[in-house]
Amino acid sequence: MEEDFDPYFESNDDLELSNRFERMLEMNEHYFFDVEEFEDLIDFYLDQNNIKQAKKVIEFSLTQHPSSSALKLKQAQIYAETHQPIKALEVLNAAEQIEPFNSDILLAKASIYSQIRQPNKAIENFFKATKIIDDQIEKANILLNIAFEYENLSQFDKALTILKDLLKENPENETVLYEIAFCYNLKNDSDNSIEFFKEFIDENPFSYIAWFNLGIAYNKAELFEKAIEAYDYAIAIKEDFAAAYFNKANSLALMEKYTEAINVFRETFNYEEPDATTYYYIGECFEKLEDYPNAENNYLKAIKIDVFYADVFAGLAVIYEYQNKDQQAIENIKKALELEANNSEFWYIYGDILAKLEQTEEAVVAYYKVMELDEDNEDVWLDIAEVVKKTDSVDKAILFLYEGLEKQPSNYQIYTRLAALLLEKGNEIDAIEHLNIALSQNKELAQEFLEYYPDAIHFPAIVETLENYK
């Protein structure tokens, strides 16, 4: 009769083995251990995070069994775990020369190449292993790893070919389904993602994972109603699918149906523990509804769960600014920036609050930080000019706008703003020149120009210029 496995006895065996090894070292004697015993000893010390002793075992084991590929694999493992990948590869290459058809060696090499970000070499070794291995489940796992490496190379079509083949073999493989959706998302290819998941659902109508990923694809394509319908199918199949509720709520929020979104976000709490992200999104919906007490309440719940959630502090800063609680706004945006110093949106919020408080120099510094982090931001130059104009002078605001044009010569909003300020200063000729440049590229800027400086209609030459672009 086969005995039941008892980890206690195995643990005792390992302890006796380690005592025997350590006694041998202490007595400066020479005992024999077979390869399996050495492997157990190495694992025992690694489990205890005793790398130094594991290395001693490796060194001694290879004097007794110099050609053992199993022990060389352990040696490579230790090199890899101690951040010595090149030494690990040297050991594995030597082992491969002796046993070129050992799949464990090839897989170990592939994993190390993956870790040191050499995906092409990882792929090469993974493929070699697939030609040796007969077990279909193991082979499928290796092919999945190859797909991951193709993703690392941004070769998404190659990854998708492998993933789709794997899915044909096993249509219920959830990991593969998610990975296919991930590839289409990285390709920014919503159309083909939608087509793929619709075809898959035709053959597998009860795959809630497929319905969920179809919803994601519709959402990315901004087809929010269809996304919600897909999420509803996923929920109908799997009632406790919290992620589907969350994504459905997000689609509702993007449709500006904030009250509905809040209710659906809250439904996730029936199926999983409340988390900071969900409270944050609920808070954001209340913010959009201008219900600032409830927004604050949910933001604070988020912080209680995750005190390092920078977006929540930024959200609090925004709602405090709306309520003219400027000191609290400043305190919270500073906390957000302590957590994410390179977040251009946070610097923008900080700049806006400082501008409101007429702390012009500090606001300009914050706005310049926005440009440093996001050089394509086309609004920040207009905000700098506005705060400088209000608290300093129109002349200085004009100088900042000219600097903006040097950095962003295709930002035609700057031309219209310059036209308005130049006109305000009585420089009609230069104003018309800048207005012509802007409107020749974008006629719709005429409305923005007039909204900003309605007195422009009192200048006949300006009115004539505007008429020319109707």
State both tokens at 200. 């898959």
Q: What average pLDDT does this structure show over 241-251?
A: 97
Angle at 158 between CA 155 and CA 164, to 5 degrees: 135
Distance CA 288, CA 257 (A): 10
Residue 2 covered by a domain: no
Distance CA 336, CA 357 (A): 19
Residue 373 covered by a domain: yes
Tell which of 352, 380, 407 closes a domain: 407
Kindly report, residue by residue over 138-149, the tens digit of the pLDDT. Answer: 999 999 999 999
Same domain, 423 and 395: no
pLDDT at 469: 83
Q: Which amino acid is at 215?
A: G
The total number of structural domains in the chain stands at 2
Residue 375 covered by a domain: yes
Tell which of 407, 422, 446 closes a domain: 407
Tell me, letter by letter, the H, E, C secondary structure of 122-174.
Answer: HHHHHHHHHHHCCCHHHHHHHHHHHHHHHHHCCCHHHHHHHHHHHHHHCCCCH
Kindly report, residue by residue over 3-45, the tens digit of the pLDDT. Answer: 443 443 344 566 677 677 667 766 676 767 777 777 777 778 7
Range of the domain at 433: 410-470
Q: What average pLDDT does this structure show over 374-397?
A: 92
pLDDT at 80: 84
350 backbone dihedrals φ, ψ, rounded to 5°:
-60, -45
Distance CA 394, CA 385 (A): 8
Q: What is the pTM for the complete model shown? A: 0.80
Tell which of 382, 407, 432 closes a domain: 407
Of residues 379, 374, 470, 385, the one with CA closest to residue 419? 385
Angle at 438 between CA 436 and CA 441, to 5 degrees: 105
Q: Torsion-angle region of residue 43: left (phi > 0), alpha (psi -120 to 50) or beta?
A: alpha
The CATH number of the domain where 396 resides is what?
1.25.40.10
State both tokens at 411. 């930002």
Kindly report, residue by residue over 48-89, the tens digit of the pLDDT. Answer: 777 777 777 777 777 778 777 788 888 888 888 888 899 889
Kindly report, residue by residue over 163-180, the tens digit of the pLDDT. Answer: 999 999 899 899 999 999
Residue 334 covered by a domain: no
